[in-house]
Structure 1
Amino acid sequence: MIEVVAAIIKVENKFLCCQRDENKYKYISKKFEFPGGKVEKNETNEEALIREIKEELNLEIYINRFFTTINYSYPDFDIKMHCFICSLREFNIKLNDHISFELLDLESIQSLDWVPADLELIRLLKDENGI
């Protein structure tokens, strides 16, 4: 089981959705995700999230609160994804690992092609927001 973290970042009432680069696993290649990454040894989930978002997007985040943990089994690996609601100091994004990004409201968010693990996260966000 791979421990990962994900940031649910709101920018002016829209959510930051990032498109992954090409990957050897077709089921996640070029699909959208909430940004984040792997938790390294001796690192808290919060520390990992702050580091990953800085590395991948050049953004400094505030972690507002823990949202949920999702366990998901892909064909080739399993993840435990710890998800946090976050806000930004300022929106000065620079894509280092992703190929594009979108800012979408919850009504439009499923128009994108998402990594499978994040679909459950979207459902929970919609439930929490009465959508």
Structure 2
Amino acid sequence: MKSIEVVAAIITHEDHILCVQRGPAKFDYISHKFEFPGGKVEPGESGEEAITRELQEELKLDISETHYYMTVNHTYPDFHITMHAYLCPVTTREIVLTEHVDAKWLTKDALLQLDWAAADVPFVKKLMAN
């Protein structure tokens, strides 16, 4: 089974968290699910470098700080994912969606209203518990 290492950004502005929705995917189990933005770690890249690059690619968003949050290991039917999440506070909510079909800024209490990708659920649960 294929294994991939990815990063995810928990982007915060004031008391809201950015949630982005995937478009149609080749795997139904992640199609149209909400997730924290991010992507694959390239060879030789640190997690911080990967998250900075991915947010620029996916959201045209520049971030100035990242704080490691937690790592999740999850096995989907077709691959295994190791996902490192970083808290990324930002000073603006201005983003440009280049890969996702929707975005919502929600308070942590509202996060469970969304249909999350399974690997992102542990992040949601930890955010809501804190």
TM-score by length of 1: 0.93
Name the CA distance, whole Å, in 2 between partners of 1:42 and 1:104.
Answer: 34
Q: Secondary structure at the match of 2:30?
A: coil
Structure 1: tracts of 5 or more residues without a match? none
On the 8 A contact 2:52/2:62 being kept in 1, the answer is: yes
Q: Taking every aligned residue pair, what percent have the same amino acid on both sides? A: 46
Contact 1:59 1:91 in 2 (8 A): no
Distance 2:91 2:14 in 1: 12
Shift of 1:89: 4.5
Number of aligned residue pairs: 128
2: CA distance, partners of 1:62 / 1:80:
24
Partner of 1:79: 81
Question: Partner letter of residue 61 of structure 2?
Answer: L
Contact 2:13 2:91 in 1 (8 A): no
Where does 1:48-63 land on structure 2 (aligned, <5 Å)? 48-63=50-65
2:94 maps to which of 89, 92, 108 = 92
Gaps of 5+ in 2: none
- Corresponding residue for residue 8 of structure 1: 10
Using structure 2 for the length normalisation, give the TM-score.
Answer: 0.94
Partner of 2:116: 114
